Amino acid sequence: MVKLDTKVWIVDKDVDKSIGYPQIKEAAEYLRKNEVVAFPTETVYGLGGNAMSPLAVQKIFTAKGRPGDNPLIVHIAERDQVREIVSSIPDQAISLMEEFWPGPLTLLFPKGKQVPDQVTAGLDTVAVRMPDHPVALALLKESRLPIAAPSANRSGRPSPTTAQHVWEDLHGRIAGIVDGGPTQVGVESTVLDVSAPIPTILRPGGITIEELRMRLGEVQLHMSLVDEKVPPKSPGMKYTHYAPRGELWLVAGDEEQMVRTIQRLAKEAMEKGEKVGILSSDEHKEMYRGDVVISIGSRHDPTKMAANVYQALREFDHQQVTYILSETFSPEGIGLALMNRLHKAAGGKIIK
């Protein structure tokens, strides 16, 4: 692969303040030339390329080292753009687009013929979302293109919540990075299949099942999210993902048991010479002895914990931790997405 000289464009998160924003114009020019450029969204940084160009889409897969059978989400800035990408719009999608776009909800539509097969990995559905981030929206509008964008990490690594994370993973492999500061939500969008008889969540994310039920009534989790033995319908969910380099174990049980188990296992691992990391909450941080103890926030503030989780997983790597014990959290609200990512990061390894 040719080594690229990755540009970095620094912009104010509130783009209205960067008058004329030449940085965004330049980044959009790159997209129009079918180069790939990373940019912030409200969830995580995305690696964008022209969704209508097989060449640009191929560059995304190559830069990430992403398996070709894992489809991409197409990002748009205006509702009308949906028509360019899909072959029909289910009624339920219309009401969801009204309520949740822009926002962290990805909807599956029957794929339009114009969309290259590489984008959807040969599937007959296409995933679409409108990100709720001024920089992302400005870039999408300026490019006048639908933009395919997976999370801007090397395949398998924790998703990037800052431009620095993108740089770590992808510098030299992509044309540029638009740096708009840290992202807000911190976990990816919810992927929802509205073509199923009961709307079905394929990947939990920024919009919670509780919020969707308020709008739609019945909403279910895909069986693969409930039973490990069922293969996922979102191809991306079958891979080990978001993984730090150290061996990560989740510890379940009631809070007291969980804390005691982590204390004991951390001590044993340190005695064996492991460099031990502990992913904690504010409530228990002071109770642990490990080489690197990181709190991602209060157990009462799952929004904050979700925003911090990927950063924490990367921090263990920076500190060259070899063995990580993680607390587990309530799967309510955004906690469901948080726990889903921790399960994937641990490759399913859990101590009950």
Sites of contact with ligand TXA (CB under 6 A): 41, 43-44, 46, 70-73, 104, 106, 108, 120, 123, 125-127, 131, 149-151, 188-189, 191, 202-203, 233-237
CB of 239 to ligand TXA, least distance (A): 9
Nearer to ligand TXA, 15 or 265 (CB): 15
Q: Is 41 in the site for Mg ion (CB under 5 A)?
A: no
Which residues on adjacent β-strands are paired with residue 106? 191
What is the Cα–Cα distance from 139 to 90, expressed in whole angstroms? Answer: 28
CB of 148 to ligand TXA, least distance (A): 9
CB of 187 to ligand TXA, least distance (A): 8
Q: From start to end of 66-120, where are the E strands?
A: 73-75, 105-110
CB of 64 to ligand TXA, least distance (A): 9
What is the Cα–Cα distance from 204 to 46, expressed in whole angstroms? Answer: 18
Dihedral angle at the C-alpha atoms of 138, 141, 142, 143, nearest 10 degrees? 120
CB of 66 to ligand TXA, least distance (A): 8
Which residues on adjacent β-strands are paired with residue 108? 127
What mask, x for binding Mg ion by CB under 5 A, covers residues 144 to 183?
-------x--------------------------------
Nearer to ligand TXA, 15 or 44 (CB): 44
Dihedral angle at the C-alpha atoms of 4, 314, 235, 140, nearest 10 degrees? -50
Pick one of ligand TXA, Mg ion, none as the site partner of residue 299 (Cβ within 5 to 8 A by kind). Answer: none
Give the ranges where 54-162 is alpha helix by DSSP (H): 54-64, 82-85, 91-100, 117-120, 134-143
Nearer to ligand TXA, 40 or 277 (CB): 40
Nearer to ligand TXA, 192 or 251 (CB): 192
CB of 109 to Mg ion, least distance (A): 20
**Are 309 and 338 contacting, i.e. CB atoms less than 8 angstroms apart?**
yes
Exposed / middle / buried, residue 175 (Cβ in 10 Å: 0-12, 13-18, 19+): buried
Which residue's Cβ lies closest to Mg ion? 151
Pick one of Mg ion, ligand TXA, none as the site partner of residue 296 (Cβ within 5 to 8 A by kind). Answer: none
Provide the 3-class DSSP secondary structure of residue 163: helix
> Which has the closest alpha carbon to 342: 352, 332, 327?
327
Q: Binding residues for Mg ion, per CB under 5 A? A: 151
